Amino acid sequence: MKVKLLFLDSKIWTLRHWLSCALPFTIFSFMLLFYLTGEKVEPGLQSGELHCLGPDHVPGQMIRPFRESLTTEGDLQLPHFLDGWRKLVMLLDPLGTLFTFATQEASAKLSVLESYSHGPFSTHYHTFSAMADWEQNPSEQSSGLYTLVLLHRALRWAQLCLSGITRVQKEDIGALCGEAYQRVLGPHHPWLIRQAANLAFLTFPRRSQLLVLVCPGSSELEAQEALSQVADMLEAVYNRTQGLLAERGLLTEGVTLKPTEGR
């Protein structure tokens, strides 16, 4: 029996040979390109919004109202500002004794401003500008502006402390937050409170422990990124408030209200 050999057309053979060689190389090239251009981050950080900043987590719940407080250019929406502060208290409370001390003090100030924003003159407490126009004596300790300045100081300390935690890669962060305290809040506190604060810094949680408390169930990298965005938002709110206080001539040094005549 004769076997008839079938020979492929040379053009077809050449094409198949080229494809057999080129296809694996093409696939490898695309994989290499994807690897080189892809973000070198954890899977949880590839989405547009960090899981820790979602609506079910305190950092995300805090950022949203603070962002809304800045929606009116050149002003501060007080109801959103107060809502953001309440969520900030929830964020800071589990982080240690010193944070608890600061948030307890802030909570009392928040209650004062909230009573004004829901009281008979609530229309004058919807924005910073409306409040500044309405109040006749901003240096009175019961005034909304005076109370806002106290919250403003505490916000600055929290922002400096949290921002430092995201930037400094060392475990002992008590000294870092202590320096921020001495710079922002210490000058306005009596000696006994300053000494108590200095002792509290000695028992400050380590950086890794604090990051776990900020974003439970998240990786340290995600918690650090979320905390960085929290600090950025606090800085934006602080800068807006600082500018508004300065425009009204309510600041001397730092965030101290000018005393009224005769005081």
Angle at 54 between CA 205 and CA 77, to 5 degrees: 90
Using pLDDT thresholds of 50, 70 and 90, give the confidence band for residue 180: confident
Report pLDDT digits (tens) over 198-231. Answer: 777 777 778 888 888 888 888 888 989 999 999 9
Report pLDDT digits (tens) over 18-57. Answer: 445 544 444 444 443 333 334 343 443 444 568 888 888 8
Using pLDDT thresholds of 50, 70 and 90, give the confidence band for residue 185: confident
Terminal Cα distance for the chain, rounded: 123
Using pLDDT thresholds of 50, 70 and 90, give the confidence band for residue 82: very high
Most trustworthy range by pLDDT among 21-35, 94-108, 111-125: 111-125
Q: In the prediction, which pLDDT does 20 show? A: 56
Q: In the prediction, which pLDDT does 93 show? A: 84
Please, is 63 exposed, middle or buried when counting C-beta atoms within 10 Å of its C-beta (0-12, 13-18, 19+)?
buried
Q: Which two tokens stand for residue 31?
A: 């994989």
- Asked whether 192 and 101 are in contact (CB, 8 A), the reply is no
Q: In the prediction, which pLDDT does 49 show? A: 67
Q: Which of 253 and 108 is assigned the larger pLDDT?
A: 108
Using pLDDT thresholds of 50, 70 and 90, give the confidence band for residue 7: very low
Q: Which two tokens stand for residue 178?
A: 């202590």
Q: Which two tokens stand for residue 110?
A: 């928040």
Q: In the prediction, which pLDDT does 87 show? A: 95
- Asked whether 188 and 15 are in contact (CB, 8 A), the reply is no
Question: Mean pLDDT in the chain?
Answer: 78
Give dist(CA 203, CA 102) in Å, integer.
15
Q: In the prediction, which pLDDT does 34 show? A: 35
Map out the domains of the chain with their CATH numbers.
54-247 (1.10.3520.10)
- Asked whether 113 and 103 are in contact (CB, 8 A), the reply is no
